[in-house]
Amino acid sequence: MAGRGPTCGGRTAGWMSGEDPRRLALEVLGRIERDGAYANLVLRTALDRSNLDRRDRAFVTDLVYGTTRMRRACDHLVDSFLHDDV
């Protein structure tokens, strides 16, 4: 259809709305790390303020929760190899 932006799977690509789901996830993760914010609260606020469609919102949610979950697992693994003198 002429006049419509690029589509991905029948929907306007997320970057066309001016919002990048990956960038939003990174901003949320930064707030969690830097400010000690609760993931569920900062994520909900960020998603509510975004113009992302349902699919991109789900993607951001998976990125944020998956990263925080795996970070704890990685931190635990690294801690098991650290010695007290480090």
pLDDT of residue 11: 44
Tell me the pLDDT tens digit for each residue of 9-34: 444 444 444 689 999 999 999 999 99
pLDDT of residue 84: 66
pTM equals: 0.70
For residue 56, pLDDT beyond 50:
yes
Specify whether the CB–CB gap between 50 and 24 falls below 8 A.
yes
Q: Which helix (H) or strand (E) holds 11?
A: strand 11-12
pLDDT bracket for residue 85 (50, 70, 90):
low
Helix, strand, coil distribution of the chain in percent, nearest 5: 65, 5, 30
